[in-house]
């Protein structure tokens, strides 16, 4: 009996999540001034191996919570869309039993990817054979998560193939909920 109810529960849960995203987008995200970065010019600055958006410095990036990025393999043109948070929060227990939270800069300048496949390719071919572009900067973690998923859906990272029939993106899932069928 449990197995027959499971698909209905999943459908209901997905519907609830979609309604929440729509509500959240309409009431909160549209009021957040994200910086969407359309292109780069020849005078683009870098931070580590990341190409910074035109007109932005490393200090400008540090004013944000996270970014959505695109890694491109220069050898075969294959890409990966992901996100990285610039700040991490750590808690430390105080003598009075309370937790004190502190904010620390993450390893974003040296970060390559959370994808094992991408990291294997980077180790194999070297960082010089990849471009690391920041697509957008975000002031909140929720906005970063939402935009990453939106970018992945818009680009159809799970299904898009080139003329040879090979996948154009390294991405194998979106938010660990939607998977590439192999």
Give per-10-residue mean pLDDT for the chain (182 aa).
48 66 59 52 68 85 94 96 93 86 90 95 95 94 94 94 94 90 77
37 and 20 both lie in a single domain: no
40 and 25 both lie in a single domain: no
25 and 68 both lie in a single domain: no
Residue whose entry in the numeric block shows the structure tokens 């600055």: 45
Residue-wise pLDDT for 134-176, tens only, equals 999 999 999 999 999 999 999 999 999 999 999 999 999 998 8
With 0-12 / 13-18 / 19 or more C-beta atoms within 10 angstroms meaning exposed / middle / buried, residue 14 is exposed
CA distance 128 to 12: 46
100 and 42 both lie in a single domain: yes
88 and 61 both lie in a single domain: yes
108 and 22 both lie in a single domain: no
CA distance 161 to 35: 29
The distance between the two most distant Cα atoms of the chain, rounded to a whole number of Å, is 64
10 and 73 both lie in a single domain: no
Structural domain including 8 reads 1-31
Beta bridge partners of 51: 46, 133
Q: What's the pTM? A: 0.74
23 and 54 both lie in a single domain: no
The number of folded domains in the chain is 2
């Amino acid at each position: 009996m449990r197995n027959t109810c499971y698909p209905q529960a999943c459908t209901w849960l997905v519907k609830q999540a979609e309604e929440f995203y729509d509500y959240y987008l309409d009431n909160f995200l549209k009021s957040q001034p994200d910086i969407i970065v359309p292109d780069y010019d020849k005078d683009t600055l870098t931070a580590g191996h990341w190409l910074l958006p035109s007109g932005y410095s490393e200090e400008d990036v540090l004013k944000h919570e996270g970014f959505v990025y695109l890694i491109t393999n220069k050898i075969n043109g294959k890409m990966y869309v992901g996100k990285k948070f610039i700040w991490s929060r750590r808690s430390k227990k105080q003598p009075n039993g309370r937790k004190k939270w502190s904010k620390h800069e993450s390893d974003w300048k040296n970060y390559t990817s959370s994808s094992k496949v991408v990291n294997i390719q980077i180790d194999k071919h070297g960082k010089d054979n990849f471009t690391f572009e920041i697509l957008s900067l975000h002031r909140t973690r929720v906005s970063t998560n939402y935009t990453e998923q939106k970018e992945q859906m818009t680009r159809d990272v799970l299904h898009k193939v080139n003329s040879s029939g090979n996948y154009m993106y390294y991405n194998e899932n979106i938010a660990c909920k939607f998977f590439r069928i192999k």
